[in-house]
């Protein structure tokens, strides 16, 4: 297997500057440590599957072009100790063969649920696979999480990343239109994981892309009920027994969904009969604003994660359905061992006229930006 290490242009530039300096000048003491490593670890359906490590000198993000996957995030605690803070498997190739609840995956074409796996668009009714009871979930039997994306590494003086492209052909998983999608995943010098999506289509279709990483800021030692959460959300969308939105947009005041001031997750889980799998309403009107969606703090480790996005909502999921799952490093993941913050359009939006439209037409461009900003409080 081939293994390469690619230094950024910024690091090379600093070396050149140092060599050109006069002997009497002070040497440059500050170094830029941005680096990306790439290793081919498997082949799937005739395409190479890579494991990438993005490193900025203080934290690392591990990715794969299989499923547009966030494999691991190794982040420092208040003592400077690095630990993985995501639920994952032991290796990237395992994701090809071992079923898992969308750990770190890119979900699409349409993330979340579509009621009865059915929608009508321009007078035509489309029937999708029912992969979650009577409903369609996260793109179907073989959604974007099971596709090999075409990768390209890149770097400059402030980021290292991987650009990935995937063409979803007309009729794939029942969706109309040839959809050309581009995904960028990059790590900045100041500990920000940026995820960006763009897509175009040649036929009217529906689209809702997101990343489905399960976080555990405590280093995945136990459940996440000791985490503190704050959402900048005044409303949420209630759901029925099958987790399909009812169509109502409800004020969070007086409910367990009111995280407008910091709350300990375990207290809110107890108040909401066991957990959350709901869309928190972050915007009522579409805009390009990168809004502060969520702050999560783990008091014991000191790790803090601030999430920003330009989308309409965020699916807040507290790992309610994880049970006795054999995860990485011999650990057994159980209920509430991770949480997801899936920036996206509101679920089942195509079947609710009062929800933001998920429709993408020829000549339009779908754009979606997410930032996870990591820091430490001592």
Question: In the predicted model, is pLDDT for residue 279 greater than 90?
Answer: yes
Instruction: Give tens-digit pLDDT for 290-338.
Output: 999 999 999 999 999 999 999 999 999 999 999 999 999 999 999 999 9
Question: In the predicted model, is pLDDT for residue 14 greater than 90?
Answer: no
pLDDT band at 33 (very low <50, low <70, confident <90, very high): confident
| pLDDT score at 274 | 87
Considering the entire predicted model, what is its pTM? 0.91
Question: In the predicted model, is pLDDT for residue 32 greater than 70?
Answer: no
Which one of 10-19, 22-31, 330-339 scores highest in mean pLDDT?
A: 330-339
Compute, in degrees rounded to 10, the torsion defined by CA atoms 189, 190, 192, 193: 20
Among the options 138, 342, 352, 368, which is catalytic? Answer: 342
| pLDDT score at 117 | 98
| pLDDT score at 1 | 38
Question: In the predicted model, is pLDDT for residue 11 greater than 60?
Answer: no
> Catalytic site residue 122?
no
Question: In the predicted model, is pLDDT for residue 24 greater than 90?
Answer: no
Mean pLDDT in residue range 224-251: 98
| pLDDT score at 378 | 85
Instruction: In whole angstroms, give the CA distance from residue 199 to residue 190.
Output: 28
Fold of 3-21+31-376: Beta-galactosidase; Chain A, domain 5 (2.70.98)
Mean pLDDT in residue range 114-133: 97
Instruction: In whole angstroms, give the CA distance from residue 41 to residue 49.
Output: 6
How far is it between the farthest Cα atoms of the chain? Answer: 76
> Catalytic site residue 212?
yes
Question: In the predicted model, is pLDDT for residue 181 greater than 50?
Answer: yes
Among the options 136, 212, 278, 336, which is catalytic? Answer: 212
| pLDDT score at 31 | 57
Mean pLDDT in residue range 2-22: 38
Q: How far is CA 76 from CA 105, 187, 287, 328, 376, in A?
A: 23, 15, 34, 19, 8
Instruction: In whole angstroms, give the CA distance from residue 18 to residue 317.
Output: 49
| pLDDT score at 25 | 43
Q: Where does 157-315 have alpha helices with state H? A: 265-271
Question: In the predicted model, is pLDDT for residue 241 greater than 50?
Answer: yes
| pLDDT score at 3 | 31
Q: Where are the domains of the chain?
A: 3-21+31-376
Residues above pLDDT 90, as percent of the chain:
90
Asked if 230 and 261 touch (Cβ cutoff 8 Å), the reply is yes
Which run of H or E residues covers position 55?
strand 47-55
Residues above pLDDT 70, as percent of the chain:
92
Backbone φ and ψ of 353, nearest 5°: -65, -25
Question: In the predicted model, is pLDDT for residue 376 greater than 50?
Answer: yes
Q: How far is CA 286 from CA 101, 193, 313, 318, 358, in A?
A: 30, 23, 10, 26, 11
Mean pLDDT in residue range 357-373: 98
pLDDT band at 20 (very low <50, low <70, confident <90, very high): very low
């Amino acid at each position: 297997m081939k293994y390469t290490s690619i230094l950024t242009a910024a690091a090379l530039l600093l070396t050149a500057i140092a060599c050109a300096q006069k002997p009497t000048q002070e040497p440059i003491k500050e170094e830029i440590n941005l680096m990306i490593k790439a290793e081919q670890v498997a082949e799937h359906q005739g395409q190479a599957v890579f494991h990438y490590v993005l490193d900025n000198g203080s934290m690392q993000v591990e990715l794969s072009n299989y499923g547009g996957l966030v494999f691991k995030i190794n982040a420092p605690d208040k003592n400077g100790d690095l630990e993985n803070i995501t639920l994952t498997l032991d290796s990237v190739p395992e994701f090809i063969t071992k079923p898992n609840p969308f750990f770190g995956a890119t979900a699409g074409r349409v993330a979340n649920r579509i009621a009865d796996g059915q929608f009508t668009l321009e007078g035509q009714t489309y029937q999708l696979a029912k992969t979650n009871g009577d409903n369609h979930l996260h793109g179907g039997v073989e959604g974007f999480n099971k596709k090999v994306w075409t990768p390209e590494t890149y770097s400059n003086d402030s980021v290292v990343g991987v650009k990935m492209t995937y063409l979803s052909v007309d009729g794939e998983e029942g969706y109309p239109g040839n959809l050309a999608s581009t995904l960028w995943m990059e790590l900045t010098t100041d500990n920000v994981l940026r995820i960006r999506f763009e897509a175009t289509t040649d036929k009217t279709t529906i689209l809702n892309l997101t990343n489905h990483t399960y976080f555990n800021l405590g280093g995945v030692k136990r459940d996440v009920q000791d985490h503190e959460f704050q959402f900048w959300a005044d409303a949420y969308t209630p759901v029925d027994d099958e987790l399909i939105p009812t169509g109502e947009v409800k004020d969070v005041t007086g409910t367990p969904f009111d995280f407008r001031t910091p709350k300990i997750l375990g207290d809110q889980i107890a108040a909401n009969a066991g957990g959350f799998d709901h869309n928190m309403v972050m915007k009522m009107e579409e805009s390009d604003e990168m809004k502060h969606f969520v702050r999560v703090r783990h008091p014991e480790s000191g790790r803090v994660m601030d999430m920003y996005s330009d989308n309409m909502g965020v699916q807040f999921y507290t790992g309610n359905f994880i049970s006795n799952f054999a995860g990485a490093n011999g650990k057994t993941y159980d209920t509430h061992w991770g949480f997801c913050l899936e920036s996206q359009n509101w679920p089942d939006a195509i079947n609710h006229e009062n929800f933001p439209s998920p429709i993408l037409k020829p000549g339009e461009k779908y754009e979606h930006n997410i930032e996870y900003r990591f820091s430490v409080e001592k």
